[in-house]
Amino acid sequence: MNIVFRLLVIASLVLPFAACKKEEAPQQNEAKVAPPLPTSSEQKDWKPYLEYKITPHMGGITSSPYVYFLPNTDAEDFEGKYQRQLEKLQADLGRGMTEGVMLVFASPAQEKEVEMIETAFKQVQPGTMKGVKVVFIGTPILGERVKVAVEPAGVTYIFEEAK
């Protein structure tokens, strides 16, 4: 009985401190400094930036985001990479996207990325992608073009300015 009583006393002393530490953790994450906009065409260099931009929008997402990335237009075999990325996006959209999915579009070649989005979303039937989030990271003018292309599908469109 003495042991049980001691364990209860210890637990009652430790729990308040454990709760305080949990409350402090989110405050540390909020103060995280934004990584700079990458200047390279390497997707690996964009990863921390993309994570920073999309993390606030992950609520309700049930799987890893689909990230569509194009290198700069002067990259070796850019046209081939563009075509493969377009075919992948069309195939993904053709299979259908269910609620809880996020599509992320970011690229140093923003104009070509938008062209790819506009081309691929032409095949999507209106209202068939409810509960799907589409995140475009780019300029406000291009963001408006993306919005016009994707909203008829019923997605939740999220624009993040590339800066």
The pTM is what? 0.78
pLDDT of residue 9: 39
Say yes or no: 19 and 83 in one domain.
no
Q: What pLDDT shows up at residue 31?
A: 54
8 and 43 share a domain?
A: no
Query: 106 near 143, Cβ under 8 Å?
Result: no
82 shares its domain with 58: yes
Residue 41 and residue 24 share a domain: no
* Average pLDDT rounded to a whole number, residues 83-99: 94
pLDDT bin (cut points 50, 70, 90) of residue 107 is very high
Confidence at residue 30, expressed as pLDDT on a 0 to 100 scale: 52
pLDDT > 90? residue 120: yes
74 and 104 assigned to the same domain = yes
Q: Is the pLDDT of residue 10 over 50?
A: no
Q: Are residues 43 and 27 in the same domain?
A: no
65 and 106 assigned to the same domain = yes
* Most confidently modeled range among 15-19, 43-47, 135-139: 135-139
> Which pLDDT score is estimated for 160?
95
27 with 95, same domain: the answer is no
Percent of the chain with pLDDT over 90: 66
17/68 same-domain check: no
Same domain, 87 and 156: yes
Confidence at residue 102, expressed as pLDDT on a 0 to 100 scale: 96
**What is the tally of structural domains in the chain?**
2
Residues 130 and 73 in one domain: yes
Q: Please give the average per-residue pLDDT across 17-24, as a whole number.
A: 47
In terms of residue numbers, what domain contains 19? 1-31
Q: Do 105 and 154 fall within a single domain? A: yes
**Cα dist. 129→4, 46, 118, 154, 156 in Å?**
55, 27, 15, 5, 9
Each residue of 69-84: pLDDT tens digit? 999 999 999 999 999 9
**Higher pLDDT among residues 10 and 71, named by residue:** 71
Residue 75, number of CB atoms within 10 A of its CB: 17
